[in-house]
Copies of this chain bind each other. A is one copy, B any other.
Amino acid sequence: MWKKREVRILKGNIISSRSRTELEICENSYLVCEDGKAEGIYRTLPFRLGGYPIRDFGDCLIIPGLVDLHTHAPQYSFRGTAMDLELLDWLEVHTFPEEIKYGDMEYAGKAYEIFAERMQKSAVTRACIFATIHRPATMMLMDLMEKSGLVTMVGKVNMDRNAPEGLCEGTEDSLAETEAWLKEAAGRRYVNTTPILTPRFVPSCTDRLMEGLGELQKKYSLPVQSHLSENPEETAWVKELCPWSEFYGDAYDHFGLFGRECPTIMAHCVYSGEEEIRRMKENGVFIAHCPESNMNVSSGIAPVKQYLDEGLQVGLGSDVAAGSTENLFAAMAHAVRASKIRWRIQDDRRKPLTMEEVFYMATRGGGAFFGKVGSFEPGYEFDAVVLDDSRLSGPREMNARDRLERVIYLGDEREVRAKYVRGKELFF
């Protein structure tokens, strides 16, 4: 049966990432979306596309939607506060007490609505999100994210050790709840929202829990997200907890939760050694680089340039609330700054990250975890953000590249004039 093509045409200054080091800039051009996929970019619209309505965004910039590979929805409620401690103390003093509250659906509802609304208004179109251990609140978050129009992977968190009462599950309970959650989520028939297995991190998960999660992964073919080698104390602790592991990441790999069997995101990787790096590369693990978080909880600065040089998969994460904001432009600017400081005071063998590289990570780099996402190359899923940067403009004529850089340093949701996800416009 013949189906009418659904065609959208946007006009503006189109910028995307051609490669890690190169932008593709098409000023004053037409961006065509067909049936939810990018079809092409044209200076002059070809004859066969005549007759379709054109949405002319004038001098706006049009970029691929940004991808947040790592954030914690329940922590949004205390973002921008509690910046006084290192990771493990920060978890115990600030984070776990907050996450316990998500056993209360009224609190969770208020908090998650704000999170979903702010994510919707941002330039992010895709995100991988930690919830808490609580199944009902996680389902509520998934409902809200589905309603937001963003494409997200959301994880009910698993924790069965080293957690306070109210946030520590029994091992079998944790597995049973996870399976119940997966069935409930499947029953919702979401279009844009999928579950992702989410063992919090090795210190919170016994070997038996990890083993069970590995089995669930196989049974349901699930992607996985967790934390890796974020902080020196944490990394040393994992060595104690899993003396049998070759390195931190091996404690996931051992249970089939480290990329080999399933698409996997590991957040941070500040202290990954050569072996761990090699394993991540072999297994195709995605690294979520979270530069603001790594500064705020005094973790350090990840060797991202090295990861890129060695061809690993790297995206960016806001890591709210160790990161203060869902604004992924800020994450890009932080990534550049952090890499400059790393070059200056830690290791000058690798040059700082460029604007082109952080834009690549925030679009194609993270987008690859979702498939063909993060680019306007034909066949890519059509996520686009239209940016009106007139609030930032001045007396100086500026080319599209410099305007994009300015948005990276200074832009936020105020610049988002329109947003498209999988070809559909979001209204908010």
A110 partner residues in chain B, CB cutoff 8 A: 394-395
* Chain B, Cβ-Cβ closest to A115: B394
In the complex the two chains form, is B406's CB within 8 Å of A81's CB?
A: yes
How many identical chains are in the complex? 2
The interface residues of chain A, by DSSP majority, are classed as helix
Taken together as a complex, chains A and B put the C-alpha atoms of A79 and B342 apart, in Å, by: 23
In the complex the two chains form, is B395's CB within 8 Å of A298's CB?
A: no
In the complex the two chains form, is B300's CB within 8 Å of A345's CB?
A: yes
In the complex the two chains form, is A301's CB within 8 Å of B410's CB?
A: no
A235 partner residues in chain B, CB cutoff 8 A: none
In the complex the two chains form, is A79's CB within 8 Å of B410's CB?
A: yes
Binary B-proximity of A191-220 (CB < 8 A = 1, otherwise 0): 000000000000000000000000000000
Given the interface pairs A80-B410, A324-B333, A405-B80, the reply to whether A114 lies near B395 with Cβ below 8 Å is yes
In the complex the two chains form, is B300's CB within 8 Å of A344's CB?
A: yes
Partner of A83, one of B98, B345, B394, B405: B405
Binary B-proximity of A311-347 (CB < 8 A = 1, otherwise 0): 0000000000000110000000100111011111110
Given the interface pairs A111-B395, A292-B337, A296-B337, the reply to whether A80 lies near B409 with Cβ below 8 Å is yes
A325 partner residues in chain B, CB cutoff 8 A: 409-410
Question: A84 at the A/B interface (Cβ < 8 Å)?
Answer: yes
Taken together as a complex, chains A and B put the C-alpha atoms of A82 and B395 apart, in Å, by: 16
Question: A392 at the A/B interface (Cβ < 8 Å)?
Answer: yes
Question: A304 at the A/B interface (Cβ < 8 Å)?
Answer: no
A342 partner residues in chain B, CB cutoff 8 A: 345
In the complex the two chains form, is B80's CB within 8 Å of A394's CB?
A: no
Question: A48 at the A/B interface (Cβ < 8 Å)?
Answer: no
In the complex the two chains form, is A77's CB within 8 Å of B340's CB?
A: no
* Chain B, Cβ-Cβ closest to A109: B395
A251 partner residues in chain B, CB cutoff 8 A: none
Closest 8 CB pairs of A and B: A80-B409, A80-B406, A110-B395, A295-B337, A324-B409, A298-B340, A77-B394, A80-B410
A-B contact pairs, 18 of them (CB 8 A): A78-B396, A78-B402, A80-B405, A80-B406, A80-B407, A80-B408, A81-B405, A81-B406, A111-B394, A111-B396, A295-B337, A298-B341, A298-B344, A298-B352, A324-B333, A325-B410, A341-B341, A345-B346
